[in-house]
Structure 1
Amino acid sequence: MAGTSGNNGNDRSSLKFQGFLDRLDGWGDLLNENSLNLPDKSSMASSSRTIKEQQGTSKFAPEKILNYTGLGYPSLSHDEAVPDAASEKELGNEYFKQKKFKEAIGCYSRSIALTPTAVAFANRAMAYLKIRRFEEAETDCTEALNLDDRYVKAYSRRATARKELGKLKEAMEDAEFAVSIEPNTQELRKQYDDIKALYMKGTDAKARESPLISIQESKVAKEASKESVQAVMNRRNEAKESVEDLASRAVSHFSSKHTKNIVVPKSAYEFEVSWKALSDDCHMQAHLLKMISPTSLPQIFKNSLSASILVDIVKCTSTFFREETELAIAILDNLTKVLRFDMISMCLSQFDRTEMRRIWNEVFSAEAVPMDHVETLTRLRSKYLHE
């Protein structure tokens, strides 16, 4: 019986250890990355003791983590703590402070494998920037923003990566969005100004390199314009088309040409970039808004809806409220389901609050609104105006 008891104990230990191995499944690929380049055991043990002293109350030392890599350290006993995502990230931060960026990348990778977080991705991106692996840094920042699309550090670091990759326009957009989130941060403003200067310098240089081409293109455009005008006049004389018909045709052609380039946004960042790009065309902004399913608005904006964008959307919705009342009401209703909506609407500036009240009084609360929508609009008015 004693032997049997001992065997049962061994079986339980084996099962417990097997469960531990299962938790580490998938780490092999991370640890076999050529970028890890871990030092020999003696230097690593010395470095890990230094990190342990700095961590103070850490649950485990770096040599315990390296124990899982198969580098020959004594086995971790069953009653000792197993590293978790937060601890791996903290250890990565310690390596980063010591400028051991490849080791830090290894720790952040294990943290991400356990529990992906925006901070872990952004931290690994910063380590990649330090060793000039800009494509990996850009990818990690994008992953971070997929998890938290208002994470300023991810925008700033992706702007740096894209600048180094020569993607100046995209880098400038990232830096500008970071400034829009934290307008009082001087470092972000400086980054945006520097990238914008590089982008403008590159644009000017291209223009200077091909002045003859620009002149020729200008001449061709003018000739085409003359031919277009003449063709319109001829058609007008022949078919006696009205000016209104011609204008309608031109608008339809312009809309069909530019509508193809609009992509349905999946995040607040994508929406704001597209919205600002169409800032001089209310018709196209309305088209962008109509492309989005109203029920998806809370998921797109999450906790990232800004007061300025809220007011803009309400203004835009008012332009097609009479023609598409149900769609407009659905948009207004689903916006109230965005996280922090009540706080945003309560903290509008005096100017925006006045503008919002004017729109509700002149459009959404007009006598022409069908009776079956009055109750819903009255409820929404209280949410938008807090009256």
Structure 2
Amino acid sequence: MARVPSKRDQNMDFHGFLNDLQDWEVSLKEKDKKLKVQSSQEKKKTGIISEAKGVARKAPSVDYSKSVKSIGDISSKFFDEESTPDAATEKEHGNECFKQKKFNEAIDSYSRSIALSPTAVAFANRAMAYLKLKRFEDAEVDCTEALNLDDRYTKAYSRRATARKELGKLKESFEDSEFALRLEPQNQELKKQYADTKALYDKELLAKASEKVKKSSVGEQRVGSTAFKAVSIKEIESGSTNAKGTIGEQKPNQSQDSKFACSGPDLCKNQVMQNGHKVSKKEAKPSIQELALRAVSQAKTEAAKNIKAPKTAYEFELAWRGLSGDRALQAQLLKAVPPATLPKLFRDALTAPLLIDIVKCISTFFPEETELAVELLDTLTKVPRFNMIIMCLTVADKDDLRKTWDEVFSAGAIPIECSEILNKLRMMYCSGP
């Protein structure tokens, strides 16, 4: 009979089976670890190779280009800072060339400076170089450009005066030197330039006046000659003819006025005939002063026809002084300037004498144009340095202002609105009640 397995045998078989399972599980784990180790090693190898290959492929297109770009940026910035020219550098280089008397090179440097950033100094410096090369027209133009940028630049006025003197524009040269001296009254070089240009301008005026006198004398001589012929013809017509055919001369009537003592052929050398009357040559010749007054009168008449709003304080002051003595024309000039533009026009160029003169001029048309006058007075207080000008006025100037204010601006029927403003303005102009 077959043997029936006991429980013990069954238990042993079950334990053997469990042991086999455990051994299998352990072997699987070991194999799994080995596989993981191998896979990790392979990944590392393949990663290194792929990274090496990737660097070899991508370095020129990515990393290297970025580094090249950054280097280029740095170098470009370096060269921009070091080698790109600027206006100030070019101007300084021009100054160095000028000191070395390389005037053409200096002009080139100043020109580059102006192209980069135009300034009054660069234009005036280039003008000085032009003067050294006797290019006076170019110098005049550059000085004018400098003054368009800064109408208070003394050197530009002085250099333009030099250029205009060489060009024969003595009047304009004198005006420029005079204005330059007003800006710097203690400058000895400007004083000398002013004296020289004034002497030349006065000499020119005297020469013109003398020429007019000569022309006037020639005209008077012609008039005298014509009158002499007319008198001679009348004497011939009224004279008698003798038997020999000669013409008898009629003697002048001694009872006539002494001014007719010399007539006809006996016309005095120091007398000429004008409109049938004898006049001494001294009386016939106008004096230089009279000719000058006539010239001034004609100039004022022409100026009145061409009064325009000035663009700079220099233009205003020249026109104002050209119309001096004629308040009506000065008022016309002042009215040509829009009141709102006065602060920008004068900037820091308004002087105490000019301010007082303007106030007096305003007083001449105040009653008829009250609102305009008040607007002008109010706007003048907004000119830079106005308070400083008022503080520096002399006692006589302040008294003059108070007198004008009390007699004109505070008298008569004034609208309430204007009266209130004028009261406030009086405090500002007259420095207190």
The two structures share one fold, judged by TM-score above 0.5 = yes
Q: TM-score, normalised by structure 2?
A: 0.63
Match of 1:189, SS state, is: helix
Residue 289 of structure 1: CA displacement?
Answer: 0.7
Task: Report what 1:141 is aligned to.
Answer: 143
Aligned partners of 1:100, 1:290: CA distance in 2, in Å? 50
Q: Corresponding residue for 2:96?
A: 94
Write the deviation string for residues 150-181 of structure 1: whole angstroms up to 9, x where unpaired.
Answer: 11111110000000111111101111111222
Match of 2:79 in 1: 77
Question: Tell me, what secondary structure is at the counterpart of 1:170?
Answer: helix
User: Which of 265, 269, 274 is equivalent to 2:319?
Assistant: 274
Aligned to 1:195: 197
Find the aligned partners of 1:330 and 1:123 in 2 and give their Cα distance.
41
Structure 2 residues without counterparts, runs of 5 or longer: 1-57, 223-273, 276-298
Paired residues, number: 302
Question: Which residue in 1 is equivalent to 2:428?
Answer: 383
Instruction: Pick one of 400, 416, 426 that aligns with 1:371.
Output: 416
Q: In structure 2, which of residues 367, 376, 398 is the aligned counterpart of residue 353 of structure 1? A: 398
- Write the deviation string for residues 263-300 of structure 1: whole angstroms up to 9, x where unpaired: 32110000000100111111111111111111111121
Which of the residues 339, 343, 360 maps onto 1:315? 360
Structure 2 partner of 1:30: none
- Secondary structure, aligned partner of 2:151: coil
Structure 2 letter corresponding to 1:350: V
Whole-Å separation in 2 of the counterparts to 1:186 and 1:267: 26
Closer/same/farther in 2, CA of residues 4 and 131 from structure 1, 3 Å limit:
farther
Instruction: Output one character per residue of 1:9-29: Cα deviation in whole Å (capped at 9) or x when no partner.
Output: 6668889999x9xxxxxxxxx
Partner of 1:72: none
Residue 120 of structure 2 is aligned to residue 118 of structure 1: yes
Give the 3 Å change call, closer, same or farther, for CA 258–106 of structure 1 in structure 2. closer
Report deviation, 1:116: 1.6
What SS does structure 2 have at the residue aligned with 1:116?
A: coil
Question: Is 1:305 matched up with 2:350?
Answer: yes
TM-score (norm 1): 0.70
1:215 match? 217
Deviations 1:189-241 (A, max 9, x none): 21111112222223333444564423356899xxxxx99xxxxxxxxxxxxxx
Identical-residue share of aligned pairs (%) = 57
Query: Do the aligned partners of residues 6 and 144 (structure 1) sit closer, same or farther apart at CA in structure 2, a change above 3 Å counting?
Result: farther
Structure 2 residue 332 is the aligned partner of structure 1 residue 287: yes
Are the counterparts in 1 of residues 300 and 323 from structure 2 also a CA contact under 8 Å? no
The match for 2:384 is 339
Q: Is the 8 A contact 2:161 2:174 kept in 1?
A: yes
Q: Structure 1: which 5+ residue stretches go unaligned?
A: 21-75, 221-225, 228-253
- Corresponding residue number in structure 2 for 1:26: none
Return the match for 1:263 from 300, 304, 308: 308
Q: Tell me the SS of whatever aligns to 1:80.
A: helix
**C-alpha distance in 1, partners of 2:119/2:81?**
28
Distance 1:184 1:335 in 2: 28
Q: Secondary structure at the match of 2:79?
A: coil
CA distance in 2, matches of 1:373, 1:210: 52
SS at match of 2:308: coil
Alpha-carbon deviation of 1:369?
1.9
1: CA distance, partners of 2:139 / 2:329: 34
| Structural mapping, 1:179-194, within 5 Å | 179-194=181-196
Q: 1:107 aligns with which of 109, 113, 116?
A: 109
The change in CA–CA distance for 1:7 and 1:196 in structure 2 (over 3 A counts) is: same
Cα distance, 1:360 vs structure 2: 1.6
CA 1:197–1:11: 2 relative to 1, 3 Å: same
**d(CA) in 2 for partners of 1:367, 1:17:** 78
CA distances 1:56-109 after superposition (whole Å, capped 9, x unpaired): xxxxxxxxxxxxxxxxxxxx8245363322222222212211111111112211
Change (3 A) 1:289 1:79: closer
Flag the structure with more relative contact order, 1 or 2, with Cα contacts below 8 A and sequence separation at least 6. 1
